[in-house]
Amino acid sequence: MGPVPAHPVPALPPLSAIEAGAAVVRLPLTVRFRGVTEREALLVRGPAGWGEFAPFPEYDDGEASRWLASALEAAWEGFPTPVRTSVPVNATVPAVAPDRVRDVLAAFGPVSAVKVKVAEAGQSLADDIGRVAAVREVLPEAALRVDANAGWSVPEAVEALGQLEPYGLEYAEQPVPGINGLAEVRALLAARGTPVRIAADEAVRKAEDPLRVARARAADLIVVKAAPLGGVRRALGIVRKAGLPAVVSSALDTSVGLAAGVALAAALPSLPYACGLGTGALLAHDVVAEPLVPVRGALSAERLAQRAMADPELVQRWAAPEERREWWLERLRRCHAVLAAAETGQRDACH
């Protein structure tokens, strides 16, 4: 079981209160993403609003419990005070064929930056180059970043980024697994004169010590997600301590979950890059009346709690089958137990 962060809400709400306001939904996607065509999420309602618990199925309870902590922060405590009212976002292009790129981008509207998925299992570097080239053709002036989700080896990453760099890459997100791998890729690119910045994603949110990336000088910037890091306030603390520029990203969330990401981006003291929070455009349907999708390349950070209120009719329309509801509720119970044990340990340590 993975490590559990400090719990971000003043006190862990009782399981009965969480279950009383819980709903499980299954939403269709507009395009295959992360190998799925539907996205499931458990929504919780508390005194401060709604939160989303939607760790991917393969995550163990230790890792998934951080997502629950984030959902409870949103629903029971709310979000910190923002320092900006608008958050610039990038479009996201999944590992589609080049001839589908234009249609995918059209769903996002005008954007200044695009993240392109690369290193997809079963695809080749030629596929990646074709996809990036298609994006560059559609948006000649956009900032391009690629995301390999740790899918390359070190030699593959150096070769791939060398061939992709002429398209004008802003940065490469998690090209290889682990902090040591990132540091090696970064050093090799510098030695070859390949000017591609390295961004750490999984190496931050999946690490026992998220700050190791900064200490190892393994990245030029970090990608942070509110849910995997245990909530907005904990993510803000990690960015502050890391001392590196940050990009806020989402995890294919509904608008309820996206609200936490927007709140995080809106609360950061500095936001030098467009954020990966436009993934609501990949959902064919949502659970709120007015989904959090980009308008002219940005998301409004105003009235987030109100705008992330799940619509009962939409929740009912997209309710997951009963067996999936039970699966999610059982996962909720296990992760609540993990958080309860951590809370008890913290309390004992203070006495």
Of 115, 117, 206, 241, which one is the catalytic site residue?
Answer: 117
CATH of the domain at 295: 3.20.20.120
- Whether residue 266 is found in the same domain as residue 332: no
What is the band of 6 on the pLDDT scale with cuts at 50, 70, 90? very low
Residue given tokens 């695809």 in the structure block: 123
Cβ-count burial 178-214 (b if 16+ within 10 Å, e if not)? bbebbbbbbebbeeeebebbbbbbbbbbbbeebbbbb
CATH of the domain at 42: 3.30.390.10
- Whether residue 316 is found in the same domain as residue 228: no
- Whether residue 214 is found in the same domain as residue 333: no
- Whether residue 156 is found in the same domain as residue 245: yes
294 located within any domain: yes
pLDDT confidence of residue 16:
97
- Whether residue 137 is found in the same domain as residue 69: no
- Whether residue 113 is found in the same domain as residue 58: no
Give me the amino acid identity at 132.
Answer: V
The whole-number average pLDDT for the span 61-69 is 97
- Whether residue 116 is found in the same domain as residue 45: no
- Whether residue 108 is found in the same domain as residue 137: yes
127 is in an annotated binding site: no
As a whole number of angstroms, the distance between CA 161 and CA 126 comes to: 12
9 located within any domain: no
CB 40 within 8 A of CB 302: no
147 is in an annotated binding site: yes
As a whole number of angstroms, the distance between CA 71 and CA 262 comes to: 14
Q: Which pair of tokens denotes residue 198? A: 């390295």
Active site residue 241: no
CB 347 within 8 A of CB 9: no
168 located within any domain: yes
Measure Cα distances from 175 to 47, 88, 129, 178 in Å.
41, 24, 15, 10
What pTM was computed for the model? 0.89
6 located within any domain: no
Active site residue 115: no
137 is in an annotated binding site: no
The whole-number average pLDDT for the span 213-217 is 90
What is the band of 348 on the pLDDT scale with cuts at 50, 70, 90? low
pLDDT confidence of residue 279:
87
Which is it for the CA torsion 334, 338, 343, 344, positive or negative? Answer: positive
pLDDT in tens, 26-58: 999 998 877 789 999 999 999 999 999 999 999
pLDDT confidence of residue 7:
41
pLDDT confidence of residue 63:
94
- Whether residue 113 is found in the same domain as residue 150: yes
pLDDT confidence of residue 151:
96
pLDDT confidence of residue 347:
65
pLDDT confidence of residue 108:
86
51 located within any domain: yes
As a whole number of angstroms, the distance between CA 287 and CA 200 comes to: 31
- Whether residue 276 is found in the same domain as residue 199: yes
- Whether residue 333 is found in the same domain as residue 265: no
For the chain, the average pLDDT equals 93
- Whether residue 113 is found in the same domain as residue 214: yes
pLDDT confidence of residue 10:
60
Q: Which domain holds residue 340?
A: 15-77+312-349
Poorest-pLDDT segment among 93-97, 200-204, 257-261, 304-308: 200-204
1 located within any domain: no
190 located within any domain: yes
In the chain, how many domains are there? 2
222 located within any domain: yes
